[in-house]
Structure formats: structure tokens, C-alpha cells
Structure 1
Amino acid sequence: MQNIKLREEFIKLGQALKAAGLVDSGVEAKEVIQDGLVKVNGETDTRRGRKLHAGDVVSFGGEEIKIED
């Protein structure tokens, strides 16, 4: 599991995928999110702009990202 530290109050889902290196671009992030391949806290989320806060866990492609303060 990778950890991403917040610099602000939240990070958007697409940005988190890029920051963790799970996708190469914003376009790729948009595609995998819209295709329903990404889960937030165990539930599929198709909103690229979903705001992630400390404690949220993102799952994609067998990898997990935990958002931390």
C-alpha cells in the first residue's frame, strides 16, 4: 500500500492516481475511473473529481493508496 500525504484539505481522485504512479496521465486516469476500474473505500467511483480526504483508501489494478494528513 502506498501512502499519499495531503498538502491541502483534499486531493482529487485523478490526481491521486497520477501522484502514486498508477497511471501516466490525466487522460489515462479519466479512462480507468470512467470505466469503473477504481474503488474508493471499497466502492466503485466514476467521478474523476471525487475529493479524497485523510483516511480514504483507493484501489486500482491490484494496488492500494491510502490518503494521509
Structure 2
Amino acid sequence: MEKIKIQTEYIKLDQFLKWTGVAESGVHAKDMILAGEVKVNGEVEERRGKKLYKGDKVEIAGKTFEVE
């Protein structure tokens, strides 16, 4: 599991995917989310504006990231 440190209270899911380099662009992040390819804390998440807080776990493409 890779830990990703953020400097703010939260980060939106689409921004997080770009920040980690999993998504090449906002459009790519949106497409991945709408296709059901992203899990947040074990549940498929289809809202690209979902707010992620410290301790949340994001699974995508066989990788797991933890917001820190």
C-alpha cells in the first residue's frame, strides 16, 4: 500500500487520481470513476467529487493508496 500525503483537509477523488499519476487527466479520471474501476474504502465509488480524508483507502488498477 502506498501512502499519499495531502496538505489540505481533504482532496476530491478525481484530483487524487491525477495527483497519484494513475490518471493522465481529469477526463481520464472521470472515465475511470464512471466505469466503476475505483473503490474507496472497499466500495465502488462513482462520484468524482467524493471527498477523501486522511485514512481513506483508494483501490485502482490493482494498486491501493492510503490518504495520509
Q: TM-score range by the shorter chain?
A: over 0.9
Q: Which residue of 2 aligns with 1:8?
A: 8
Q: Which runs of 4+ in 1 moved over 3 A?
A: none
Between the aligned partners of 2:8 and 2:66, the Cα distance in structure 1 is 15
The 5 A counterparts of 1:23-42 are 23-42=23-42
Structure 1 residue runs of 5 or longer lacking an equivalent are: none
| Unmatched segments (≥5 aa) in structure 2 | none
Instruction: Report how many residues are paired.
Output: 68
TM-score normalised per structure 1: 0.94
What percent identity do the matched residue pairs reach?
Answer: 50
TM-score normalised per structure 2: 0.95
